Chains A and B, each alone.
Chain A
Amino acid sequence: MAQQAAIPAIATVAPARPRPRWVRLVVYATLTLFALFYLLPVYVLMINGLKSFQEVSLSRMWVLPSSFSLDSFAKAYGKLAPNFANSVRLVIPATLVTALLGSVNGYILAKWKFRGADLLFPLLLFGMFIPYQSVLIPLVQFLQRAGDALGLSLYGTIPGLALVHIVYGIPITTLIFRNYYASVPTELIEAGRIDGAGLAGIYRHVVLPLSLPAFVVVLIWQFTAVWNEFLFAVVITNNPAQQPITVALQNLAGSQIVEWNVQMAGALLAALPTLLVYVFLGRYFLRGLLAGALKG
């Protein structure tokens, strides 16, 4: 029970009394109309991405393709593949490291309260709401200087960008884990303590085994956020060879020589990984959203 409160889900029991037929009709009609609205952009991207180059014309934007052709996707993939790979290289460390940090932080903030923790927590949380414009200029300077001082390339590279996502991902992941661990019964912790386990032991043997649902939520959240992010990426990676897919797509869409159906195919390609995550793990995705908003 307690854990469901921490990672909220939409209950499936629907309370309502039977309604007249015409009411149901209006309900379904309205829902269907809205569904069409939400599907509209995907429909356009899809049908035009699937048209052959001969068939592409702006005036026939809404017409179904007469035959399916993957030419546009192949061409878009040819242009975007290196950046797709960059995004993968970015997302893996940025997701895993932040999740680990968030789990440890959340555990301590929830179960090892110390003086000042109640002040520290909102200060930490503020970091997830700030407009990142307010840190960009020093961030660029820092990455350049720190990179030089340490003999690493941080500015302009995927590792540097991953570092940025890790740091700015700490507040949200800490929040989700803290709220989740807050609902782990204190008796479990006490029991561990009586068994002679310390902070680290209780984490390893008691808390971590219970953490899978929270990890799934956090990993999906971070994956989606980092994959889709644009501002840090466009400022920190100038060199196209190092740019993640969002920036490459923006360059492709702004380019004068690339056919617009290739741009549409590219947009779908960039959206594909997060869409797949959504389709297969949508329940957890939703819980992450609600956890971020409903604070416990």
Chain B
Amino acid sequence: MSWKARLSLLLSLALLATPVITGVQAGAANQLEIFSWWTAGGEADGLNAMFQIFKQRYPGTEIINATVAGGAGTNAKAVLKTRMQGGKPPDSFQVHGGEELTSTWVKTGFMEPITSLARSEGWLSVLPKDLVDIVSYQGEMYSVPVNVHRGNVLWYNKKIFDDNKLAAPTTWQEFFKVADALKAKGITPLALGDKNKWEAAHLFEDILAATLGPEGYRGLWSGKTSWAGAGVKQALENYAKILGYVNTDHAAGTWDSAAQMLIDGKAAMNIMGDWAAGYFTSKGWKPNVNYGFAPAPGTGGTFVVVTDTFGLPKKAPHRDQALNWLRVAGSKAGQEAFNPLKGSICARTDCDLSKFDAYLRSSAADFAKNKLIPSEVHGSAAPEDFATQFNDIVNLFVTRRNVANAQKALQAACVSAKMCRK
């Protein structure tokens, strides 16, 4: 064991010159540490609004706002993994509902169920059942959803549509007609920016939902719908055709540069989650005035859910405070304070809609009556190792448009992620 001695010699030598910084330490009893990647803009404002409500209801508790910025949550997730593996969990943390919660944290034994809390708070009657299922594993609920973003939205430049007397397409057949009309006028029909790969996967996810329908789409993740089957084949063929209508420089852009193309009048349509509405708002664009919106073609009556939730880690240092935090996050007041600022709708179906803009009101109405399905690209439908392979396969498909190869690869990824047997 003499190498240990040598090593510590080396370590002390190296550290002589450097001050040692320690991480966030669990301190006094009346603290609450909330971990998220909501560091800026409306998200941060919304989180603070929830903190205010917490402080009114449970005074005397110091809130530690542990946020990690950058990379759309990838940095935060990495920090969280380190802390959880090191046995230093925060009291509660932001996590997307679905597989990001269950396969990363629940199945691995890091979380405590909150079903009894959900019952006593009456959440089960105000949260849609489909949504409760997304945050549940083997009959127990593991986190409380605070908001919902919609993944399957078609955005369009209203002026271009009005000038050309076009209506938002509701099916892909209509989409091709509209797109041909736009193309004839020299306007790029569909804006895409897929430099980060997930954007192209996002579009494909919406096409899958349209082609397979909500039940067929759900079956992809439970093994009931085969990746090798006719439905997926048709979706890929559909996608290949749609790609004929996107901007040629899509590989240089990102989701926001695609949204910007609508604002600049360089493209007429964009299919993206409703964080795009937040982007439009930040550029001074208004719903139903500057931009129009509709469910992505073929997905009317279906709502692709991206939901942020908070859960209860085992060994949470201040468990009682953490439970109080979950009470606030699941409450009507908490969600009404958070969501208008964040630019999303409540996970609860009983929020006061007067606080939301036209787009969010329409989204909330759909949410209450549509079939809800989980987003794969945003961590809900499949485990992370499948998600990265899915992105890769779609990325390749966008260029090669080889349906058979893509289908074979998707099936193989499904097997290797242990989602389907063979």
> Are A and B in direct contact (Cβ within 8 Å)?
yes
Residues on A close to B: CB < 8 A? 89, 92-93, 96-97, 144, 146, 148, 150, 152-153, 155-159, 162-163, 166-167, 238-240, 242-243, 248, 251, 254-257
The answer to whether B18 and A158 have CB atoms under 8 Å apart is yes
Interface residues on B, range: 20 to 34
User: Nearest chain-B residue to A90 (Cβ)?
Assistant: B18
Q: Does B402 contact A (CB under 8 A)?
A: no
**A257 touching B41 by the CB < 8 A rule?**
yes
Q: Assess whether A254 is in contact with B71, with CB atoms less than 8 Å apart.
A: yes
Chain B residues positioned under 8 Å from A163 (CB to CB):
11, 14-15
B43 to chain A, nearest CB (A): 11
Q: Write out the residue numbers on chain A whose beta carbons fall within 8 Å of the beta carbon of B75.
A: 238-240, 251
Task: Give the residue name and chain of the A residue nearest to B275 (CB).
Answer: A256
Report B-chain residues with C-beta under 8 Å of the C-beta of A97: 13-14, 17
Across the interface, do A239 and B254 meet the contact criterion of CB distance under 8 Å? no
Given A144-B82, A156-B23, A256-B279, A89-B18 contact (CB < 8 Å) = yes
Residue among A97, A159, A256, A257 facing the most chain B CB atoms (10 A cut-off): A256
Neighbour of B11 across the interface among A89, A96, A150, A257, CB < 8 A: A150
Are the CB atoms of B13 and A238 closer together than 8 Å? Answer: no
Chain B contacts of A248 at CB under 8 A? 70
Query: Is A159 a contact partner of B70 (Cβ separation < 8 A)?
Result: no
Q: Check A240 against B21 for contact (C-beta < 8 Å).
A: no
- In the A-B complex, the 4 residue pairs with the smallest Cβ-Cβ separation, listed nearest first, are A93-B17, A251-B70, A238-B78, A159-B18
Q: Is B256 in the interface zone, CB < 8 Å from A?
A: yes
B79 interfacial by beta-carbon distance below 8 Å? yes
Is B22 close to A, CB under 8 A?
yes
A260 closest partner in B (C-beta): B257
Q: Which of A159, A166, A239, A254 contacts B20 (CB 8 A)?
A: A159
Which residue on chain A has the smallest CB distance to residue B17?
Answer: A93
Are B79's CB and A256's CB within 8 A?
no
Contact between B17 and A157, CB atoms less than 8 A apart: no
Judging by beta carbons under 8 Å apart, are A257 and B82 in contact?
Answer: no
- The answer to whether A251 and B21 touch (CB under 8 A), given A150-B11, A156-B79, A256-B256, is no
**Closest chain A CB from B283 CB (angstroms):** 11
Which chain A residues border B79 with CB–CB below 8 Å? 156, 238-239
Given A239-B75, A251-B75, A256-B256, CB of A152 within 8 Å of CB of B82: no
Provide the residues of chain B in CB contact with A167, threshold 8 Å: 10, 14
Q: Smallest CB–CB gap between B102 and chain A, Å? A: 23
Question: How far in angstroms is the closest Cβ of chain A from B41?
Answer: 7
- Interface 0/1 of B124-143, CB less than 8 Å to A: 00000000000000000000
B69 touches A157 (CB 8 A): no
Q: Are B14 and A93 in contact (CB under 8 A)?
A: yes
Cβ of B68 under 8 Å from chain A: yes
Q: Which residues from chain A contact B21 at a C-beta distance below 8 Å?
A: 153, 157-159, 242
Contact between A96 and B17, CB atoms less than 8 A apart: yes
Secondary structure at chain B's binding surface: helix, strand, loop or mixed? helix
User: How many angstroms from the CA of A146 to the CA of B10 in the assembled complex?
Assistant: 12
Q: Which residues of B contact A255 (CB under 8 A)?
A: 70
Residue B255 is within 8 A (CB to CB) of chain A in the complex? yes
When chains A and B are docked, how far (Å) is the Cα of A152 from the Cα of B11?
Answer: 10
- For A242, what are the chain B residues with a Cβ–Cβ distance below 8 Å? 21
Question: Which chain A positions have C-beta within 8 A of B11?
Answer: 146, 150, 152, 163
Which residue of A is nearest B8, CB measured?
A150
Q: Return B69 CB to nearest CB of chain A, in Å.
A: 5
A162-B14 in contact (CB<8A): yes
CB of A260, distance to nearest CB on chain B (Å): 10
- Chain B, 63-96, contact with A by CB distance < 8 Å: what is the 0/1 string? 0000011110001001100100110000000000
Task: A251 to B7: give the CA distance in the assembly, Å.
Answer: 34
Residues of B within 8 A of A159 (CB): 14-15, 18-21
> Does the CB pair B22–A238 fall under 8 Å?
no
Give the CA-CA distance A159 to B17 in the complex, in Å. 9
Question: Chain B: which residue is nearest A59 at the CB level?
Answer: B264
CA of A146 to CA of B6 in the docked complex: distance in angstroms? 13
CA distance A162 to B17 in the complex (A): 10
Q: Give the complex CA separation of A158 and B20 in angstroms.
A: 8
B9 at the interface (CB under 8 A from A): no
Closest to A156 in B: B82
Q: Tell me the B174-191 residues at the A interface (CB within 8 Å).
A: none
**Complex Cα–Cα for A155 and B68 (A):** 16
Q: Does B167 contact A (CB under 8 A)?
A: no
B40 in the interface, Cβ–Cβ < 8 Å?
yes
Which of B18, B40, B68, B254 contacts A238 (CB under 8 A)?
A: B68
CB < 8 Å: which of A150, A152, A157, A240 contacts B68?
A: A240
Chain B residues near A148: list those with CB within 8 A: 86
Question: Could you tell me the distance between the alpha carbons of A159 and B196 in the complex, rounded to whole angstroms?
Answer: 32
Determine if A153 and B69 form an interchain contact, defined as CB atoms under 8 angstroms apart: no
Q: A251-B70, A256-B279 are in contact. Are A152 and B20 (CB under 8 A)?
A: yes
Bound: A163/B17 CA distance, A:
10
Chain B contacts of A243 at CB under 8 A?
70
What residues of B have a CB within 8 angstroms of the CB of A93 in the complex? Answer: 14, 17-18
Most chain A beta carbons < 10 A, residue from B8, B82, B256? B82
Could you list 11 further interchain pairs (A-B, Cβ under 8 angstroms) beyond the known A97-B17, A242-B21? A96-B17, A97-B14, A156-B79, A159-B14, A159-B18, A162-B18, A163-B11, A239-B68, A240-B68, A255-B70, A257-B40
Q: Are B86 and A144 in contact (CB under 8 A)?
A: yes
Q: What CA separation (Å) do A153 and B19 show in the bound complex? A: 11
Q: How many angstroms from the CA of A117 to the CA of B264 in the assembled complex?
A: 67
**17 residue pairs bridging A and B, Cβ less than 8 Å apart:** A93-B14, A97-B14, A146-B11, A150-B8, A152-B20, A153-B21, A156-B79, A158-B21, A159-B15, A159-B20, A166-B14, A239-B75, A240-B75, A248-B70, A251-B75, A256-B254, A257-B41
Question: Chain B residues near A158 (CB, 8 Å)?
Answer: 18, 21
Contacting residues, chain B, for A256 (C-beta < 8 A): 254-256, 279
A159 and chain B: residue at smallest CB distance: B18
User: Are A153 and B70 within 8 A (Cβ)?
Assistant: no
Out of B19, B22, B69, name the residue touching A240 (CB < 8 Å).
Answer: B69
Contacting B69 at CB < 8 Å: which of A146, A162, A251?
A251
